[in-house]
Every structure is written in structure tokens, then in C-alpha cells.
């Protein structure tokens, strides 16, 4: 007989085993294959962390150079993808465009119909390499701008940001964006990762698993929260208006995005602390200083009124803003950064596969006779 213990939202349920990452709340650490994610973010670049996730070790200098070179060689996206994206409806959310692009990309991979594990390495590299190009250019297509061309001379992060903004970032901007990608790269088993491995457990292909993850990450209770945070910060306008704005929202029992977390309930999200420090470093103008003060005021009000700490989205959003990233790209960039972690989980699922097939607690009517 199935265990009918019910946990809404699967809260507290251990759904799988993994050697990839773990949220060690007791030690306020996010473990990535035994390494502290925040220490990785401040000591190595995003590609090193992606290598760690996918190859299970940090790369040597030669391995890093080869990894970067290999990804640069695979950044070309079939031009038909741009044609498809240009045909989408006028109200297309960029996460819907991204979902469509990844799904369409599968049709250009001759290995997609084979056994997933047999062709995984090539698919992983293709997806990781092409994701920044797709994310940047689906925005340019929507805005009727020329397509951006990747620059293999730049780092992964600098190239990604340059394709979005149209200009080469300075060293501080490059470091900030690289650290932002790194802290978004992996986070144990959030909804999108769970969605990806559930799909992979059927032995569906990698592209399908990622497409499902995009659909999950679009939601405002997951990846879409960062967009809502920035719009909220802009509505406040000044630090002086931040407290009355939030108090009015709370009085109406409205949800304040950027605060609280299913796992970090009694402490700050450690990734948010890193982003807060980065935000302080990026501030250079009076307008940017005002934005920083709005964030500080909002954090203080929410802790005082609700006992809630900021999560990553709260401070990542203004970092995006100061880097010149349009709000509509916040969640697609989140997904692009998370691609390395998602692919690592998909690979792990294929290696130790068991089909996910949970049961339910039935609360419908009892068995009865069909009316005559």
C-alpha cells in the first residue's frame, strides 16, 4: 500500500539523491560538488563552475582554455531559429520565445532521436554555447534590432553581456555579471530542476527536459520574481517613499517579491549578500545611489514587519539594472546561467535513472453505482 502522507508542494520531501549540490542551511553554505558556491563566485569564473558541474572537477588552466575554445566554436545558431522567432505573436514573453527556440534547436541536432546518454556530451556543449546567443538575439529580434555576433576574444560572461548591451563591459561590470551568472548556476532542486529531471526520467531528450525547465522558470514564484522586484523598486522612486509603499502593500496583504525562500526561512539567502555587496560597488551616480538606498530601506522594513530576509532576486535585479540589462531579459539570463546546473542534473538522472511516478491522496467522492 502506498504511503498516503501528504506534503503540499512536496515541502520537506526528499525526492532524489544527487552529488551535484546541497543547500547546507546549518552552515549557511551552498555546496557545489563539495565547494562553497560563494567562494567559487569570488575566486573562479562562471566557465570554471560550469566545468565543475558538468565534468565533476574544477578545470586546470589548459582544460579551461580548451573548454572556452570549444564553446566559442559552437556558438553558431541555425539561422532558421531566428526566422521562427520572428514569426511569434506580438505579445510573446521572452521566456516563451526561449522555450520555443530550445525546442526548435532540437530539430537541427541529428543525435536527438538516439539514446539520450549516448550523445549527451555534444548536446551539453551545444546548449551551453548557444544559450547566450539565443537569449541576446531573441530580445534584439523583438525590438527589431540587428542580431548580435559573439566575440570569441571575450570571456563567456563579457561576451554575453556585450551581446545584450552592445558595448564591451569594463572589468568591474564583467566581474559583476560573471558572479551573477555563477550564483544563478545551480541551487539543488528548485521547481525547474525538478521539472527537468522528471522529464529526463522518461528518457526524453535533453532539449525536451530543458524546455520543461524554461516553462517552470517563467513563473513569478520562481525565476520571474527578479523582473517583479525591479518593477517594484522603480515604482518606489525614492528611498523616502520605500517604507510607505511597502507598508501599504502589506496592509493590502499583497505579496512582496524578493523576500522569503522555501529553504532560507530564518536567515538571509547567502547569494543575496554577495549581490548586495556587488551592487554597492557598481553604484557611481546619485540616481544609482538612490536605488541602493531604496533597496536598503526595503530590506529593513521587511525584516522589521515580516521577519523576512531578501532572497537572491531582490539584489540581483538592481545589479542587472546597473549593468544595463533590460528587465525583460532578467529571467532568460537566469535560465541561461542555470543551464549548466540543469544539464548536470539531467546527466545525473540518465546515469541513475528511475522513472518518477508518485501517488496522490484521493479526496474525491467514494465509489458509487452508475445512475440507471
Task: Write down the domain spans for the chain.
Answer: 21-217+326-351, 225-322
For residue 176, give the C-alpha cell: 559583476
pLDDT tier, 11 (very low <50, low <70, confident <90, very high otherwise): confident
> Would you list the DSSP string of 258-282?
TB--SS-SSS--HHHHHHHHHHHHH
**SS percent in the chain: helix, strand, coil, step 5:** 60, 5, 35
CA angle 283, 318, 274 (to 5 degrees): 80
Segment 85-104, tens digit of pLDDT: 999 998 999 999 999 999 99
pLDDT at 246 over 80: yes
Question: What per-residue confidence (pLDDT) applies to 6?
Answer: 86
Segment 295-353, tens digit of pLDDT: 999 999 999 999 999 988 899 999 999 999 999 999 999 999 999 999 999 999 999 99
Using only C-alpha atoms, the chain has a radius of gyration, in whole angstroms, of: 21
Let me know if 261 is a catalytic residue: yes
pLDDT tier, 263 (very low <50, low <70, confident <90, very high otherwise): low
Let me know if 222 is a catalytic residue: yes
Let me know if 91 is a catalytic residue: no
Question: What per-residue confidence (pLDDT) applies to 28?
Answer: 78
Give the largest Cα separation in the chain, rounded. Answer: 78
Report, as an integer, the average pLDDT of 137-162. Answer: 96
Q: Do domains 21-217+326-351 and 225-322 have the same CATH topology?
A: no
pLDDT at 2 over 70: no
- Residue tagged active-site, from 109, 178, 269, 313: 313
b/e map 143-181, b = 16+ CB within 10 Å:
eeeeebebeeebbbbbbbbbbbbeeebeeebbbbbbbbb
CATH code of domain 21-217+326-351: 1.10.580.10
Report, as an integer, the average pLDDT of 284-288. Answer: 92
Looking at the chain, the whole-number percentage of residues with pLDDT higher than 90 is 75
Report, as an integer, the average pLDDT of 78-83. Answer: 98
Q: For residue 99, with 0-12 CB atoms within 10 Å meaning exposed, 13-18 middle and 19 or more buried, which class applies?
A: buried
**225-322, which class in CATH?**
mainly alpha
pLDDT greater at residue 254 or residue 158 = 158
- Residue tagged active-site, from 64, 93, 119, 222: 222
Q: How many residues does the chain have?
A: 372
Q: What's the whole-model pTM score?
A: 0.91
Question: What per-residue confidence (pLDDT) applies to 325?
Answer: 97
Would you say the C-alpha torsion 151, 155, 160, 164 has a positive or negative sign?
Answer: negative
Nearest to 25 by CA among 278, 197, 261: 261
- Residue tagged active-site, from 178, 261, 269, 321: 261
Amino acid at each position: 500500500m502506498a504511503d498516503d502522507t501528504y506534503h503540499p508542494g512536496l515541502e520537506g520531501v526528499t525526492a532524489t539523491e544527487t552529488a551535484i549540490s546541497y543547500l547546507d542551511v546549518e552552515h549557511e553554505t551552498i555546496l557545489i560538488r563539495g565547494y562553497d558556491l560563494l567562494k567559487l563566485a569570488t575566486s573562479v569564473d562562471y566557465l570554471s563552475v560550469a566545468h565543475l558541474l558538468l565534468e565533476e572537477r574544477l578545470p586546470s588552466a589548459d582544460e579551461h582554455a580548451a573548454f572556452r575554445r570549444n564553446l566559442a566554436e559552437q556558438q553558431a545558431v541555425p539561422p532558421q531559429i531566428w526566422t521562427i522567432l520572428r514569426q511569434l505573436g506580438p505579445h510573446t514573453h521572452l521566456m516563451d520565445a526561449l522555450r520555443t527556440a530550445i525546442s526548435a534547436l532540437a530539430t537541427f541536432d541529428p543525435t536527438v532521436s538516439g539514446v539520450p546518454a549516448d550523445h549527451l556530451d555534444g548536446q551539453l556543449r551545444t546548449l551551453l554555447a548557444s544559450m547566450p546567443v539565443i537569449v541576446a538575439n531573441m530580445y534584439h529580434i523583438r525590438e527589431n534590432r540587428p542580431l548580435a555576433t559573439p566575440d570569441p576574444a571575450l570571456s563567456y560572461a563579457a561576451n554575453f553581456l556585450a551581446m545584450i548591451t552592445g558595448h564591451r563591459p569594463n572589468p568591474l561590470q564583467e566581474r559583476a555579471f560573471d558572479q551573477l551568472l555563477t550564483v544563478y548556476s545551480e541551487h539543488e532542486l528548485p521547481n525547474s530542476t525538478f521539472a527537468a529531471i522528471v522529464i529526463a526520467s522518461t528518457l526524453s531528450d535533453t532539449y525536451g527536459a530543458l524546455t520543461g525547465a524554461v516553462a517552470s522558470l517563467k513563473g513569478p514564484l520562481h525565476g520571474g520574481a527578479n523582473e517583479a522586484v525591479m518593477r517594484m523598486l522603480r515604482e518606489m522612486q525614492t528611498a523616502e517613499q520605500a517604507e510607505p509603499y511597502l507598508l501599504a502593500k502589506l496592509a493590502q496583504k499583497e505579496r512582496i517579491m524578493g523576500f522569503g525562500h522555501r529553504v532560507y526561512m530564518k536567515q538571509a539567502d547567502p547569494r543575496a549578500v554577495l549581490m548586495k555587496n556587488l551592487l554597492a560597488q557598481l553604484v557611481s551616480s546619485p540616481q544609482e545611489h538612490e536605488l541602493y538606498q531604496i533597496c536598503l530601506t526595503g530590506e529593513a522594513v521587511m525584516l522589521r514587519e515580516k521577519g523576512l530576509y531578501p532572497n537572491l532576486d531582490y539584489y540581483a535585479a538592481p545589479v542587472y539594472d546597473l549593468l544595463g540589462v533590460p528587465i525583460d531579459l532578467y529571467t532568460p539570463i537566469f535560465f541561461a546561467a542555470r543551464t549548466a546546473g540543469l544539464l548536470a542534473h539531467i546527466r545525473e538522472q540518465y546515469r541513475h535513472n528511475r522513472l518518477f511516478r508518485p501517488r496522490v491522496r484521493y479526496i474525491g467522492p467514494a465509489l458509487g453505482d452508475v445512475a440507471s
